[in-house]
Amino acid sequence: MEHTGELHEEYGEEWTEVAPGAAAGGAVPPSRGRAQLWALVLEARSVPCRLERDGRDWCLLVPANHLDRAREELRLFEEENREWPPAPPPARPLAENTLSTLSTLVLLATFHNLTQLDVTLPVFSQPDWVGLGNAQAAKILDGQWWRLVTALTLHADSLHLVSNLAIGGIFVVFLCHELGSGLAWSLLLGAGALGNLANAYAQSPNHSSVGASTAVFGAVGILAALTLVRYRQRLQRRWPLPVASALALLALLGTEGKNTDLGAHLFGFLFGVGLGLMTEYLLGRYGRPGRLLNALLALLSAVVVVAAWWAALEFGG
């Protein structure tokens, strides 16, 4: 950034220091980095300049006939960037709902155990839970909508269940802390069901799957979108990092095992991103749902799951 003889020849020897106070409102000499930044600003505005060192301080010099313009350009630059980078958004208080979230996860595990037993219901004798509730593409496209939801509550075996609870539970608990249980479970259910629907269109008619992992990757997508929107100004050029990190997690956890349904994981993640973007926009405008609305959303999610299984037992097969 330092310029020598060529500038002397073109503009003569009368060079004047741009006083720090003229640009920054103070008398403290600029640091080397600051002086170099100012020099870049002036060069971008076609104002000749050079840096010189005076002991431990750095001086920014311009030809005398460019002094007024240089000071004005630096003043405008400092004013425009005074509030940059912007302060991070105020942290939202986390919802205290760990117990209710873990209780729901335990309920999911209990239901899995129920499906492994020869249980006779008052109306339905020994139902084939997996046959009635799996996300079979042809039957979903034939109008059996309940499979979009019931498949999220089923698991192939205990290892499948434990892996979803152990890994997915972390994301679910964190998401419930961020948004409140009702809103979080509604979004998870929506991302999982939409992911299963898109997967039914993408796969062959014979394709079927079970598991909450579609909703788990929906949670990953939602959290990535929340971070992307909430901290978009501070991320600057690194704005894709949250989504890139989530995609890396998808590649790490969502493609392992011969029975892994990559399509369901990918679609769950993509719909999670979409729902997360919409949710963060609404949260920024209206705030997080209150306790009553969260309770209603939680109740609605439970009703949807119960209604889906009632439809599966009543009309499935």
Q: Judge whether 265 counts as a catalytic residue.
A: yes
Bond before 85 cis per omega within 30 degrees = yes
Residues forming a β-bridge with 54:
57
Of residues 177, 181, 265, 301, which has the active-site annotation?
265
List the structure tokens of 192.
Answer: 């999982």
- What one-letter code names the amino acid at 88? P
Instruction: Give the whole-angstrom CA distance, residue 173 versus residue 193.
Output: 20
Q: Going by C-beta distance under 8 Å and a sequence separation of 6 or more, which residues neighbour residue 153?
A: 108, 111, 133, 212, 305, 309
Sheet strands (E) in the chain: 15-17, 50-54, 57-63
Q: Judge whether 112 counts as a catalytic residue.
A: no
Of residues 181, 208, 209, 213, which has the active-site annotation?
213
Instruction: Give the whole-angstrom CA distance, residue 188 versus residue 300.
Output: 13
Instruction: Give the whole-angstrom CA distance, residue 17 versus residue 45.
Output: 17
DSSP-derived letter for residue 167 is I
DSSP-derived letter for residue 63 is E
Q: Which residues are marked as active site?
A: 213, 265
